Amino acid sequence: MNIWAYILKRIVLMVPTLLGVIAITFAVIQFVPGGPVEQMMQELKGRAGVHESAGGASQYRARQGLDAERVKEIQVLYGFDKPPMERFILMLKGFATFDLGRSFYHHADVWELVKSKMPVSLTIGLWTFFLTYLISVPLGIAKAVREGSRFDVLSSMAVLVGYSIPGFVLGVFLLVLFGGGSFLQWFPLRGLTSDNWEMLSPAGKVLDYLWHITLPITASVAGSFATMTILTKNTFLEEIRKQYVLTARAKGLSENKVLYKHVFRNALIPLVTGFPAAFIGAFFAGSLLIETLFSLDGLGLLSYESVIRRDYPVVMGTLYLFTLIGLVVKLLGDLCYVWADPRLQFESLAK
C-alpha cells in the first residue's frame, strides 16, 4: 500500500467517525431540557412581567405563558418546527460546505464567530505546544544522560511540583503576585494587546503582545512539562541501554555522535506519535479556565457559553470542527511515525 492509497483509506474512514460523533451529540441534544425555544419563552415572559407589572390582568397573562401563535413563531425562528431527522440532514448538508449555521445568541454566522475567537486559542495552544516540546525534550535528554545525578533529582522534583499545581491555581497566583494584585504590577490583567496597540510601532506591537501572553502561557505550560520530560527521559534511557549503543561505543564513536546520530532517531518515534495528542490537548484542553481567568475571549469560552445558553448551532459547529481537526492531526501523526521510522509500512498502520 503506497502513501496515497493509505491517506485515501484513512480519509474514507474519517467520514463514519465524524458522522457518529455528530449523530450522538445531536441525539443527546434532543433530550436536554431548557432549549433555545424555552429560553426565549422565559425571556419574553420576564419582559412582559416587568414591563406591565402594574396591571393586574397583564401580570396574570404573563404568568399564564405565551399564546400558541407566539410559541409557533419562536419554533419557526429557530427551525424547531421541522422534525429532528430533517433538521439533522439539513445540518449535515451545511457541514459538507462548511456552512455551520447561525448562532441563536450572537445572531452571527458560526464560522465567523469561530474565526474571530481563533487567534486567542491559537496563541495559547501553539505557544503551549511548542514551548512544551522545546523545553521538555532537551531537559529529558539531559536527565537521561545524567541519570541519578543531583541535576536529575532536583529537576525531577521541580517538574513534579509544577505538574501537581493546576494551571488555574497557578494563574491566580501569578495574577496576585505579578498582575497588580497584592504585590507587583509587572504584567497586565487581561487581553492579548493593549488599547493603543494599533498606534504602536511593529517592534512595540511584538513586545506588547509578548508582555500580555507571559502570564497565561506560563500558567498553561507549567503543568505540561512533566509527562513529556519523563517520557523523553525513559525513552532515551531504554535506547541507551540497548546492544547497538554498546557496539557503537566500542567502535570508538564519541558520546555525542552515539547520542544524536544513533539514539536520537530511535528515541524520537514515541515522541512523534505523541504529537497529535499533545497538539490537541494544548489547543483545546484547559483553555476555558485560562481564558476565563485572564479575560481572553477564545474558543474555549465560546464553547462553554454556547452549552450554557443552549446555542446549538455553535455547539454542533465547533464540535464538527474540533473532531475534524483531531482526525486530520491523527493522520498527520501516523505519517510522521513512518517518516521517523522507515522500517514501518503503511500496511501495519492500517490494521
* Three-state secondary structure call for residue 102: strand
Give 110-350's CATH code, choosing from 3.40.640.10, 3.20.10.10, 2.30.30.90, 1.10.3720.10: 1.10.3720.10
- Residue 85: predicted pLDDT: 86
Q: Pick the range with the lowest mean pLDDT from 1-15, 232-246, 257-271.
A: 257-271
pLDDT at 64 exceeding the cut of 50? no
Q: Where are the domains of the chain?
A: 34-97, 110-350
- Cα–Cα distance for residue pair 224/129, rounded to 1 Å: 9
Cα–Cα dist 214/233, whole Å:
27
Q: How many other β-carbons are positioned within 10 Å of the β-carbon of residue 38?
A: 13
Q: What is the pLDDT of residues 316-346, one digit of tens each?
A: 888 888 888 878 877 877 776 666 666 655 5
Q: How high is the pLDDT of residue 60?
A: 37
pLDDT digits (tens, 9 = 90+) for 258-280: 777 777 777 777 676 666 666 66
pLDDT at 3 over 80: no
**Residue 78 burial (CB count, 10 A):** 17
